[in-house]
Structure 1
Amino acid sequence: MANSPVSSYSLDHVILLLDTPDFENLPEWLTKNFTVIEGGTHAGGSSRNKLVIFPDGTYIELINWITKPKEFFDWAGKDPGLIDFALTTPKSAHETFNEVTKRLESNEWDEKGAGDGGLGVRYKDPLAGGRKRKDGQDVKWHVTKPLLDNDAPNVPRPLEKFFPTGRLDTPFFCHDVTDRALRVPYAEKEISETHPSGARGILSVEVVVPEEKIDSYIKLYSSVLGVEPKVHGGYRYSPTTSVSFPLSVPNPDEKAIKALRGRIGVEIRAPRDQEDEAWVKERGVGIREIKIFAEVKGEDEVDEAPFDSEGIGASIVLVKEPVGFWQEGPR
């Protein structure tokens, strides 16, 4: 287990699936709040993307199907909205695959045991992927996708209730082969630092799981992320409890990161209200919400609000904090 309370692993990007009308004419909540750049067509030819790049090195990928999917089959049955998220690490794809696999197959990670929590999760060998940018440059990477055994003892059942459009309850990994700046041009300030909302990066990814399975998912994510969880909200897990896994970021030079250390990461929780229950019923166990952090001037309080009152934008939240926060450090 990592000695540091913050994993060396980082959030890489979040997948936001759009239907063709919204992809070709982006909704106002996106255009008014973000600088969106063209991505390109994926190597398989059946999907395309646009990107929202943040200076912390993370991004939101807006993806759309051009034809019947020839790649990314695990996303093929999903409805538009948040569908998946990726991690990256300082090590290579194959090194990461080996160390994550070792943890998933171990029952001696801590005094409670870790492994995969009985959720039947391993990872497939890293697979080469890529796309051609609009400027003609080839971007190459390795993707490491979860391998899921739905017959494992702690998988939420019935499957059709908890995974109505297929199982996507575990993040994948993305490692660059070409220079990361080709895939994620976060150093280009006109791309990453011009968001009208003031967005600087992804603060957290929230994953909703059945309350009775939260112990299993905590063990799983401990193994996948390489860090112990922080429990908030009570002695025992409950619908009001949040369990977070602190992560690093791809660009540690981003000025907000030192102040946000320990707050960036993945949060696991049970449904809290009817909206959460409806989300799981319609979309299944998995990514529920992401929070984007922003610095603001002329304000002295933290403010949180979704980008839209309903629909896809309601599951993406902007967290605005005073400029002085960045200099004062963590609270």
Structure 2
Amino acid sequence: MASSADTTPLVDHIVILVPHSFLSAPPSWFSDVFHFHSGGRHADGRTENTLVYLPDGAYLEFIAFVPGIDPADRASHHWGSKKEGTVIDWAVTLPSTAEDEAEREKERAAAGDGGELRSEKLFREVQRKVREQNTGIVYGDLRRGGRTKPAGEVLKWSVAFAKREDGETLELGAVPFWCVDITPRRMRVPFETPGNAKHPSGAVGVAKVEVHHESLTTAKSAKGVYDALFEKQTTEGGGWKLSSIAGEKVHSGAAVSLGASDGPARIDISFFTDDDSWAGKSVGGKIDEEHTLTFHLVATSGSK
């Protein structure tokens, strides 16, 4: 059996759905807040993205459906029904060190695309822990995915989404999905490359993920999943501790919390900033004529 440290979730990325025009002609407020990079088109050809790398190792994925996509094809996509201009989901991953990445390269060369990596085996332990909570929510098996970067580099990973055991629909984002790398994570998230994660707003990492459920039943079930995955907070505010690849280097530690929604389910995101002139501000703006998007910035000490 794997140790808890091997299967402790680390925040991987936040998914924000935007119109394709946001990717092709980003609004001025975006560059005033974040330094961003073109991500490329996904393997299924239905979506493209722009990425914002953060110094704590997490990143933001601004994702859009490609122009001219058939409405039925979009509707069949996992996020096809979600509203543009909102945080639609969030992902966690497994801990990874340089040694892990080197071992992954060896495993991949030995096993080929059809072989199973150690990280994929570890995920089965995650599935077991969540299933034993008996909340009615379980994680499906990992399935392979990928993306081709603008320069032609091919990235590969596996993802797994949560579902209800009874077959009923589970609110997207109610619990995080998993993203486990096949190619080295540094290829997908080059946050340590000089300049890649330096932002005008001083943003250094994810401070808080607040998941607001439309259904109290979903909130109760989700709580059991979070109890299985994360360590509970002991500080004021409650919730659970949320770690990241390099968070201890740049901020005081993040958190995830559950709450009720006064309308549709939603996810609110706060970011740490190391620039005091930005701390305490809400940032963002219009993404097109119909949608706006905002985030909150807090000081790295969590005092503002």
TM-score > 0.5, shorter chain as reference: yes
1 CA distance for matches of 2:157 and 2:215? 36
Please report the TM-score for the alignment, with normalisation by the length of structure 1: 0.72
Map of 1:244 onto structure 2: 239
What corresponds to 2:13 in structure 1? 13
Helix, strand or coil at the partner of 2:55:
coil
Q: Are residues 116 and 36 of structure 1, via their aligned partners in 2, closer, same or farther at CA, if it must alter by over 3 Å?
A: farther
Question: Which structure 2 residues correspond to residues 287-306 of structure 1 after superposition, within 5 A?
Answer: 287-296=266-275, 303-306=279-282
Q: Distance in 1 between matches of 2:215 and 2:142?
A: 32
Match of 1:110 in 2: none
In structure 2, the CA distance between the partners of 1:229 and 1:2, relative to structure 1 (3 Å rule), is farther
Q: Distance in 2 between matches of 1:192 and 1:303?
A: 18
2:213 aligned with 1:205 = no
**CA distance, structure 2, for counterparts of residue 29 and residue 150 of structure 1:** 44
CA spacing shift, 1:167–1:294, aligned 2, 3 Å: closer
d(CA) in 2 for partners of 1:19 and 1:141?
25
2:105 is matched with which residue?
none
Counterpart residue identity of residue 35, structure 2: T
Quote how far apart the aligned CAs of 1:309 are: 6.4
1:162-215 deviation digits (Å, cap 9, x = unpaired): x8xx6442210111111111100101121112x110111111211012584444
Asked if 2 retains the 8 angstrom alpha-carbon contact of 1:244 and 1:265, the reply is yes
Partner of 1:74: 78
Q: Shift in Å at residue 72 of structure 1?
A: 7.7
Q: CA deviation at 1:255?
A: 2.6
Q: Measured at CA, do residues 133 and 11 of structure 1 come closer, stay the same or move farther in structure 2, by a change above 3 Å?
A: same
CA 1:73 to 1:218, structure 2 compared with 1: closer, same or farther past 3 Å? same
The 3 A distance-change label for structure 1 pair 137 and 167 is closer
Structure 1 contact 97–123 (Cα < 8 Å) conserved: no
- Whole-Å separation in 2 of the counterparts to 1:208 and 1:12: 20
User: Following TM superposition, by how much is the alpha carbon of 1:251 offset from its aligned partner in structure 2, in angstroms?
Assistant: 2.3
Q: CA deviation at 1:64?
A: 0.7
In structure 2, C-alpha distance between the alignment counterparts of 1:87 and 1:71, rounded to whole Å: 25
- Count residues in correspondence: 271
Aligned to 2:297: 318
**1:33 and 2:33 aligned:** yes
The CA distance in 2 between the partners of 1:25 and 1:149, in whole Å, is 42
1:255 maps to what in 2? Answer: 249
| CA 1:95–1:230: 2 relative to 1, 3 Å | farther
The answer to whether the 8 A contact 1:57-1:201 is kept is yes
What residue identity is the alignment partner of 2:180?
Answer: H
- TM alignment of 1:36-47, pairs within 5 A: 36-47=36-47
Instruction: Check conservation: 2:51, 2:60, Cα contact below 8 A.
Output: yes
| Seq. identity, % | 26
Identify the residue that residue 101 of structure 2 maps to in structure 1: none
Shift of 1:305: 2.2
2:157 is the counterpart of 1:131: no
Which structure 2 residue ranges, 5 or more long, are not aligned? 97-117
**Which has the larger displacement, 199-208 or 63-72?**
63-72
Q: Could you tell me how far apart the structure 2 residues matched to 1:53 and 1:116 are?
A: 36
State the Cα distance separating 1:45 from its structure 2 match.
0.9
Corresponding letter in the other structure for 1:204: K
Matched, 1:221 2:215: no
Aligned counterpart, 1:156: none
The CA distance in 2 between the partners of 1:145 and 1:76, in whole Å, is 15
Indicate the residue corresponding to 2:113 in structure 1: none
Selected match of 2:128 from 95, 98, 102: 102
How far apart are residue 248 of structure 1 and its match? 1.7
CA contact (8 A) 2:36 2:52 kept: yes
Give me the whole-angstrom Cα distance separating, in 2, the residues matched to 1:255 and 1:289: 24
Q: Which residue of 2 aligns with 1:111?
A: none
Task: Give the Cα–Cα distance (whole angstroms) in 2 for the partners of residues 71 and 77 of structure 1.
Answer: 6
Name the amino acid aligned to 1:268: L
Q: Deviations over 1:273-320 (max 9, x none)?
A: xxxx13x2xxxx3x42101111125x6xx9322213675422x21113
Counterpart-to-counterpart distance in 2, 1:3 and 1:178: 24
TM superposition shift of 1:89: 1.2
Once the two structures are superposed, what CA deviation does each residue of 1:33-83 show, in whole Å capped at 9, x if it has no partner?
A: 101101011011111111000111100001111124479822011111210
SS of residue paired to 1:94: helix
**Secondary structure, counterpart of 2:81 in structure 1:** coil
8 A contact 1:46–1:71 mirrored in 2 = no
Aligned-pair Cα RMSD in Å = 3.1
Q: Which one-letter code corresponds to 1:177 in the other structure? A: I
